[in-house]
């Protein structure tokens, strides 16, 4: 189905013009899934960031270790992306959550109000913590760890919950800033795949390599707190100060990346080296 709206504010390059490794990745996805998720075309605008983004994504979302199921991981993404106002990630990861949980209702439920959702107490505690990391990471403390451990999560699981939330905070911010549209996938696509012999596990595998996220942001303070409010006026204001669209992408990506970094540093209580406090104050010996 054709769509008059662009994929994002940034140009989607022709697949044949992309670096070979990225082109092959996209063609493999297209061959298996029958479509190219918009995130691949959008992030291919920055090849180095494309490679880094999907490498980190796969490390978090496709790992076998730990007690988080793939449905748990997609639930974290769907619920926290809703808090961040990211249409792309709620739509794409909500689809994956429905498939992997084998539950047609749960994605909408957790995106609106996880306290009313048909999920387990363990999953509810997981999302409580994910929301704290998402919105108030500086307030994470020992009580949060104690609560999660009482539900059977160990420290590696807690790291995973935090890292997934932080990573998709980056993704949500960039998706909002560049106005990336969800791919037009619906129930008919699932019916079509099943008619070719794919089961729900196969569809998960296809989706895991494909219908994922994007990235977003704003300028300095609004960028970090209200990324879903980014609009044309922000671009106009930045251009009036001499920034071009590539500069705007850089501002957004740096802010989004360090939003990830800040969240993880707060969750794991990482201390700065004492030497940092002296740098720029005390002459080097």
Q: How far apart are CA 235 and CA 223, in angstroms?
A: 12
CA-CA-CA-CA torsion for 239, 87, 170, 55, nearest 10 degrees?
-120
Give yes or no for a contact between 174 and 256, defined as CB atoms under 8 angstroms apart: yes
Give yes or no for a contact between 211 and 96, defined as CB atoms under 8 angstroms apart: yes
Domains of the chain and CATH, by start: 15-220 (1.20.1290.10)
Q: How far apart are CA 250 and CA 248, in angstroms?
A: 5
Q: What angle do CA 143, 57, 178 make, to 5 degrees?
A: 100
Note the pLDDT of residue 23. 95
Note the pLDDT of residue 207. 46
Give yes or no for a contact between 130 and 76, defined as CB atoms under 8 angstroms apart: yes
CB-CB neighbours of 93 under 10 Å: 30
Note the pLDDT of residue 283. 79
Note the pLDDT of residue 34. 76
For the question of whether the overall pTM of this predicted structure is more than 0.85, the answer is no
pLDDT in tens, the chain (285 residues): 455 667 787 888 889 999 999 999 989 878 877 778 888 888 999 999 999 999 999 999 999 999 999 999 999 999 999 999 888 899 889 988 998 999 999 999 999 999 999 999 999 999 999 999 999 999 999 999 999 999 999 999 999 999 999 999 999 888 888 888 776 544 555 566 677 777 655 654 554 343 333 233 323 333 344 556 788 888 888 998 899 989 998 999 999 898 888 888 888 888 887 777 777 777 777
């Amino acid at each position: 189905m054709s769509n008059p709206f662009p994929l994002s504010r940034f140009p989607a390059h022709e697949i044949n013009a992309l670096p070979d490794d990225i082109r092959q990745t996209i063609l493999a996805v297209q061959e298996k899934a029958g479509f190219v998720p918009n995130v691949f075309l959008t992030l291919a605008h920055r090849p180095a960031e494309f490679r880094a983004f999907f490498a980190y994504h796969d490390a978090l979302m496709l790992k076998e270790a730990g007690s988080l199921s793939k449905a748990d991981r997609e639930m974290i993404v769907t619920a926290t992306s809703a808090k961040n106002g990211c249409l792309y990630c709620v739509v794409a990861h909500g689809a994956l959550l429905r498939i992997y949980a084998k539950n047609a209702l749960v994605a909408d439920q957790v995106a609106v109000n996880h306290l009313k959702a048909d999920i387990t107490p363990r999953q509810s505690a997981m999302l409580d913590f994910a929301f704290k990391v998402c919105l108030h990471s500086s307030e994470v403390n020992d009580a949060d760890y104690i609560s999660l451990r009482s539900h059977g999560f160990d420290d590696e699981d807690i790291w995973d919950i935090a890292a997934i939330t932080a990573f998709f905070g980056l993704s949500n911010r960039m998706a909002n800033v560049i106005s990336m549209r969800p791919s037009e996938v619906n129930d008919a696509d699932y019916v079509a795949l099943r008619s070719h012999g794919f089961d729900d596990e196969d569809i998960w595998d296809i989706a895991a390599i494909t219908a994922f996220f994007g990235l977003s942001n704003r300028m300095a303070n609004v960028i970090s707190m209200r990324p879903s409010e980014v609009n044309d006026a922000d671009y106009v204001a930045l251009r009036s100060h001499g920034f071009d669209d590539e500069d705007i992408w850089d501002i957004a990506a740096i802010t989004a990346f360090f939003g990830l970094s800040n969240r993880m540093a707060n969750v794991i209580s990482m201390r700065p080296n004492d030497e940092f406090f002296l740098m720029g104050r005390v002459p080097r010996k």
